[in-house]
Each structure stands twice: as C-alpha cells, then as structure tokens.
Structure 1
C-alpha cells in the first residue's frame, strides 16, 4: 500500500499500472483489467494499459509513469486513441505522475480524452455519469 505519493515515482512500470488500476477499483470502478503485452496485439499492449467500467461505460486507460521533469507527449495520446479505437471503446483517460505537454492538452480536449495527474482527487474517480 502506497501512503506517500512520492513513492509512486519509484515503482516499476508494471507496479505503477497495478497501482493505478487499484486506485480506480477502490473508487468503485469494476472489471478493471490490465492488458498484457503481446496478448491481443503482436507488439505491445495496443496503446491501452487498463480497461475498466464505471456506470456501465467502458473506458480505455493509458498509464504513463515519468521521471521528474519529463512530460507526457503526443505519442502517448496517439497510442491511447489508436488502442481505444481498435478495441471499439469511446471513453478514454490518460493518467500520469508527471505533466502533459500543451499540445497533448489541446488535442485531448478536441478528441474527448480525459487527462488525469496524480494524485487523482477521489471525487474525480467517483463522480462519473
């Protein structure tokens, strides 16, 4: 159990994904499944790290763990949008422990992708319509 958000930066990429999934589950999301590299797609996870449900709506969630001072760029957003489209999912969330570039913020707004920075306020996770 992580009690200090600073420790998140030291998690391995797979543990970081598990941590994010557990945060969503603790907030009432259901059927949160972490995708496996090479399972559905020949290379990688197809651009989506977690599929989860809230209020009967399926979400594609991409998780990007970054070191201090490193931002999440447009490549991560493109991966999520492509992976969600291939999985026929229209609700998308991009989560990071860092920051997003201004280009990501603009494009995410136009594409309907929710951006979340850690720590995620619990009310953001709970209040879904």
Structure 2
C-alpha cells in the first residue's frame, strides 16, 4: 500500500507459451533513491509468485525511491528449464503516492512488460 510519500508495487507473471500463470517464479524487489549519478540498489526482499502467478505482498518502496527493479528468475518455473531468458530484470521510474502493477508476459523466446492497473 502506498502513502503520499511512498509507492507500492505488485506483479503478475503469465506464461504465454502454455497459457497459464507462472507459479513459484522467484522475484527480487530492489529500489534506489534519486540522486546524482547511479545510486546503489537496495534489495527490499526476495519473493515468489503464487499459484495464480501473482506477487502482491511486496513491501512499500522506501521514501525517496526514484527507481524500482523487479528481477525474475524465469528459468526455474518450467520442468527441465529450457527458457531462452533465464532471468528478466525490469527497471522503472516511480512516483510517490502511486501504485505500480508490472505484469510480465513470458514466452519461450520472448517477453513483454507493461504498467498494468
């Protein structure tokens, strides 16, 4: 949940290759503050998608966060692996007080992300 000075994040992973949610995908959430140059990333925690492919219990971003990063370990969710993209990192700008739902649509040889609602 976001406040006027923080932002919140949720995500959803769908495996378009099999037409189902991607369960048990490890997800890492990190944040970095605004500032000159590239500020260091702070890891906020490691999570996993549920049976519906959702990761909705992510913590609020710290006050002053300018960018958030979701790292998906996508090579672990299918039996035998074989995904062309074993990891997907998504970095996005955040605005205090807003919620950012960032779904990942994952196929065997491609992926897409967008800001959802």
Q: Taking structure 2 as the reference length, what is the TM-score of the superposition?
A: 0.28
Considering fraction of residues, name the structure with more helix.
1
The answer to which structure, 1 or 2, has the higher relative contact order (CA under 8 A, 6+ apart) is 2
Q: Taking structure 1 as the reference length, what is the TM-score of the superposition?
A: 0.26
